């Protein structure tokens, strides 16, 4: 499953996240979760416990004293034990003992060796006596536009997150900043400030004892506070830093951008009779019912589009969700004829959901279905059918945080069967990700999964019944359902279908690491990466690349070993759009772009994704200020050094071939100083060059050194903007002075010649 570092990480993830746990007592088998130290992330046996210190015999036959707070007691030490536990738990909801035994064995074969990997909540919780939900994806109703409603949403969010679920909701229901609040004779803080409150709660809650909560906040394009929402994370690095942000973009807005028309920001008249009872955040429903609307402001739609693209370019947020595409394709919206529809998505965006909607996740490992240079589509289809039954059973086996979650989960029986290892599948086949041939193969794979999943759900409907709220007349109107094969549509007409939605593509970050393959439908990020997580820093060597180089030690990797940064952003979108044709929910996919990508490029990319039929687009430009989990690890000089690179790792943004530049000449006590500032994004310095005096002088060497050190700080990945970093550099240097009274401090700025020098002059322009 890869080099030593990859196997070690896989085992550490299994023991930390998914192995069944027990209290740490004498004779317990334990896992040391420490990030560093001689026995970090190792398994041992507790010999004795005194106060909070355990004496542990480790697997290398050594013994040490360990703080019990760093230890997990283990009931499982191998994945086989987890697979058996999960298979038995999920089969336990079958109607009789014969079925339970049969499906337990089938589910075990589904899991063993990772051809299929359930969502992390299922692996961690199934068969364990704990009130943890097996659902990964939740959306809750938009907050009621009142103090009580805002607090109720906070409580609902906290309860779901504490049980292991990720939460999304739309904040368009909250009145704009500055709007009157008559009950207290005051004004509203606006939805963005309240979203920061929800984000803070997300950062506080630890999910199921192992990870921080996750949240998605969305807003409609018509909301008067849209522009503040778009720029929210650039105001303060600590503002809304535990939530993902996406704009719900409508067809009408995209048409206004195309036509270069004005865009009007609107909100219901909060003084209208019945507002408090009727307003839920659905502007279409409000206006259809005759509710009055106030127009707050307007601006060219292209200016709004530019702002969305600019901040996505700068920070990787907000993302865009094409909400009308979602609703047009939606089986949910069709089934209820618009009376119940998707209002937001889960934190990673792959599940648009209605209020109190719930979905569990699982992924077929596509790399495991390659035979020679072909995909075994027949085996893939059979595995997909078993996976649908598995995930349908999860609905009945799961604990639910709220009664409303359980009610809607069982009324709609929503599951999200997805994939992982697409990039590895293509590498095994010798195909370059993003090529025409790779798109053709992906088309075949996703069509096979769709048809198998819908066939299995029809089989389950005949055996166990359709989902309780199934309405054949409405359901069949979904644009997605209309594209199904005629034979499947006929079966749905006759017997219904078991699950209101069946398919998704989740990011599968940790679970794909556990299985040793690439995540979701993403290309390989890089073939050598440094991952930072709760278990510390890990150099990850891609197993297929490592194996190929072992056989070809003096050759470069073939071109089908392509990383995310080597693809054009359009190639990323084409793969997403190919998969989306066969996915009834949505797709979590990051479109990676080079550092020199422009704001105009982002606008074109988002428009391309919209026209290609994607339901959303998440963008990340190399070198933007958003923090990332994976980074490129330094390549060792020799292949045999591959496992010892943590100390070699330094991450600086790559230097593009073209940048904006400004030059200054500043008079100093020692002569003219030349200062060159280069930028990629206007207002964000990328590097600084300083020269003063004679070229070979000690003074000029010092100036060059300061410039290089400042440039290194500016080029490092950080959540602090480059402009702010430059302010910090200036602040740290401004009080330095020479013994003779010259230097950069305020007192020293009056040199022997009476000349003043402001070290920050021009830098903040």
- Examine the residue annotation and report whether 348 is marked as an active-site residue of this protein: yes
Strands 21-22 and 344-345: unpaired
Backbone angles phi, psi at 64, to 5 degrees: -150, 165
Catalytic residue among 350, 412, 522, 687: 350
Percentages of the chain per state (helix, strand, coil), in multiples of 5: 40, 20, 40
Query: Token digits for 245?
Result: 């942000």
Q: How far apart, in whole angstroms, are the C-alpha atoms of residue 122 and residue 359? A: 12
Residue 118 CB-half CA count within 13 A? 37
Task: Give dist(CA 242, CA 196) in Å, integer.
Answer: 8
108-113-118-123 Cα dihedral, nearest 10 degrees = 80
Q: Are 351 and 359 in contact (CB under 8 A)?
A: yes
- Identify the residue whose tokens are 């009580």: 148
> Both tokens of residue 67?
């703080």
Is 595 labeled as catalytic in the residue annotation? Answer: no
Q: For residue 716, what are the β-bridge partners?
A: 652
Convert 555-594 to b/e letters by CB count within 10 Å (16 or more is b).
eebeeebbbbebbebbbbbbbbbbbbbbbbbbbbbbbbbb
Catalytic residue from among 346, 405, 499, 700: 346
What whole-number distance in Å separates Cα of residue 225 and Cα of residue 235?
A: 15
* Residue 235 near residue 145, CB atoms below 8 Å: no
Task: Please state the separation of Cα 478 from the chain's center in Å.
Answer: 28
* Measured distance CA(553)–CA(556) in Å, rounded: 8
Active site residue 137: no
Cis peptide before 50 (omega within 30 of 0): no
The one catalytic residue in 42, 335, 342, 348 is 348
- Which residues does 480 contact at the CB level (< 8 Å), separation at least 6? 329, 330, 331, 584
The answer to whether 505 and 589 are in contact (CB under 8 A) is yes
Whole-angstrom Cα distance, residue 745 to residue 734? 5
Active site amino acids: 346, 348, 350
């Amino acid at each position: 499953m890869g080099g030593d570092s990859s196997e070690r990480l896989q085992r550490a993830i299994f023991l930390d996240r998914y192995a069944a746990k027990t209290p740490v007592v004498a004779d317990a088998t334990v896992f040391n979760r420490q990030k560093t130290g001689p026995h970090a992330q190792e398994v041992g046996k507790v010999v004795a416990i005194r106060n909070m210190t355990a004496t542990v015999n480790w697997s290398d036959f050594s013994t040490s004293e360990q703080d019990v707070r760093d230890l997990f007691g283990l009931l499982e030490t191998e994945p086989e034990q987890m697979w058996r536990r999960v298979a038995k738990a999920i089969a336990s909801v079958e109607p009789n003992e014969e079925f339970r035994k049969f499906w337990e064995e089938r589910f075990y074969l589904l899991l063993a060796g990772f051809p299929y990997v359930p969502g992390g909540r299922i692996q961690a919780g199934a068969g364990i006596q704990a009130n943890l939900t097996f659902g990964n994806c939740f959306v809750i109703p938009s907050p009621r536009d009142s103090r009580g409603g805002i607090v109720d949403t906070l409580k609902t969010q906290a309860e779901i997150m504490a049980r292991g679920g990720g939460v999304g909701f739309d904040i368009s229901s909250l009145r704009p900043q500055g709007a009157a609040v008559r009950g207290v004779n005051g004004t509203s803080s606006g939805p963005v400030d309240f979203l920061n409150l929800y984000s803070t709660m997300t950062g506080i809650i630890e999910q199921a004892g192992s990870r921080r909560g996750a949240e998605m906040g969305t807003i409609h394009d018509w909301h008067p506070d849209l522009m503040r929402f778009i720029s929210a994370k650039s105001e303060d690095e600590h503002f809304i830093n535990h939530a993902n942000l996406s704009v719900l973009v409508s067809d009408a807005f995209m048409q206004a951008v195309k036509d270069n028309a004005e865009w009007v920001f609107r909100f219901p008249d909060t003084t209208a009779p019945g507002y408090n009872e009727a307003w839920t955040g659905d502007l279409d429903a409000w206006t259809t019912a005759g509710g009055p609307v106030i127009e707050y402001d307007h601006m060219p739609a292209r200016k709004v589009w530019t702002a969305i693209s600019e901040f996505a370019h700068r920070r990787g947020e907000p993302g865009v969700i094409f909400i009308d595409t979602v609703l047009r394709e939606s089986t949910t919206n069709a089934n209820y004829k618009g009376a119940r529809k998707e209002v937001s998505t889960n934190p990673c965006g792959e599940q648009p959901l209605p209020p109190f909607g719930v979905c569990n996740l699982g992924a077929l490992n596509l790399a495991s279905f390659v035979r020679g240079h072909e995909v075994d589509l027949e085996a893939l289809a059979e595995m997909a059918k078993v996976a649908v039954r598995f995930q349908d059973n999860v609905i009945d086996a799961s604990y639910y945080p709220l009664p409303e979650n359980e009610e809607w989960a069982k009324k709609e029986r929503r599951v999200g069967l997805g994939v992982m290892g697409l990039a590895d599948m293509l590498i095994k086949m010798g195909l370059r990700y993003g090529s025409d041939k790779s798109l053709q193969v992906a088309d075949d794979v996703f069509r096979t999964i769709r048809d198998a999943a819908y066939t299995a759900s029809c089989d389950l409907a005949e055996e166990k019944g359709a989902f309780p709220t199934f309405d054949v007349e409405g359901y069949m109107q979904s644009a997605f359902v209309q594209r199904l094969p005629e034979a499947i549509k006929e079966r749905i007409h006759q017997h219904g279908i078991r699950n209101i939605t069946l398919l998704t593509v989740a990011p599968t970050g940790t679970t794909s690491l556990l299985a040793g393959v690439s995540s979701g439908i993403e290309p390989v990020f890089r073939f050598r990466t440094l991952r930072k997580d709760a278990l510390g820093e890990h150099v990850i060597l891609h197993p297929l690349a490592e194996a190929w180089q072992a056989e070809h030690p003096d050759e470069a990797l073939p071109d089908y070993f392509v990383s995310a940064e080597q693809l054009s952003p359009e190639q990323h979108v084409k793969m997403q759009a190919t998969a989306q044709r066969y996915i009834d929910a949505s797709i979590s996919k990051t479109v990676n772009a080079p550092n020199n990508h422009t704001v105009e490029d982002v606008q074109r990319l988002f428009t391309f994704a919209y026209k290609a039929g994607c339901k959303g687009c998440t963008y990340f430009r190399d070198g933007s200020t958003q923090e990332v989990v994976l980074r490129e690890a330094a390549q060792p000089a020799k292949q045999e050094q591959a496992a010892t690179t943590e100390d070699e790792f330094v991450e600086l943004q790559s230097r593009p071939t073209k940048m904006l530049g400004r030059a200054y000449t500043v008079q100093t006590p020692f002569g003219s100083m030349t200062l060159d500032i280069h930028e990629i994004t206007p207002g964000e310095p990328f590097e600084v060059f300083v020269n003063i005096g004679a070229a070979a002088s000690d003074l000029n060497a010092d100036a060059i050194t300061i410039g290089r050190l400042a440039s290194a700080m500016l080029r490092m990945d950080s959540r602090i903007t480059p402009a702010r970093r430059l302010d910090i550099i200036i602040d740290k240097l401004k009080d330095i002075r020479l013994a003779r009274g010259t230097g950069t401090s305020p007192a020293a700025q009056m040199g022997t010649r009476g000349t003043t020098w402001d070290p920050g002059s021009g830098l903040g322009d």
